[in-house]
Amino acid sequence: MKFWITILFLSLGLYLNAQEVKHKGKTYEIKKGKIFLEGKDVTDTFTKEEIEAFKVKIAKAKEEYDKAQKQEKEAKKLENQAKKAEKAQKKAEKELKRKVKAQSKFDKASKKLEDAQSKYEKLKKKGKLSPNDEAKWLEKIEKLKENYDKSKKKLK
């Protein structure tokens, strides 16, 4: 798309730099205030009114060229705004994914911690824990607490 827009404006620019004017079915070229037809100076064959008409046509062509340049600038501006908006949207989506993932990890960590604590309490009440098992359970619960704290920090 950019390629075609660029080609369009370059061709328009080249067209306007040559300052060609069509008059009565013939194409005249105007350079430095002189009118040429097929490379020959024909300025003297025109009246002042006709020369003024040529100047008006050239002014209109320049005006169209200026409008085209403004449109090109506006198109670039809109394209840049669209890119910025897309970038911001991607950033927001990425942040949302990160938050969802952090919430999921936090939920899992809290559930594991609660389950481990309740199981430890049940085993302790029933008296089925040896001193070694109790140390292992406390160590396990401590690790789960650390994991819970880390996930809580990342959630914020």
Per-residue pLDDT tens over the stretch 46-97: 666 776 777 777 778 778 888 888 999 999 999 999 999 999 999 999 999 9
Element (H, E) at 104: helix 48-126
Residues for the chain: how many in total? 156
CB 66 within 8 Å of CB 54: no
As a whole number, the mean pLDDT across the chain is 80
Which of 12-16, 29-33, 104-108 is the most confident on average?
104-108
Taking the CA of residue 4 as centre, how many other CA atoms within 13 Å lie in the half-sphere pointing to its CB?
Answer: 1
What sign results for the dihedral spanned by CA atoms 112, 116, 122, 126? positive
Give the pLDDT band of residue 24 (cuts 50, 70, 90).
Answer: low
What per-residue confidence (pLDDT) applies to 84? 94
State yes or no: pLDDT of 38 exceeds 70: no
- Dig out the tokens for 15 from the structure: 């067209």
Mean pLDDT over 1-17 rounds to 55
Range from 16-25, 70-79, 136-145 carrying the lowest mean pLDDT: 16-25
What per-residue confidence (pLDDT) applies to 39? 60
Between residues 46 and 114, the one the model is more confident about: 114
What per-residue confidence (pLDDT) applies to 92? 95
Q: How many CB atoms lie within 10 A of CB 35?
A: 21
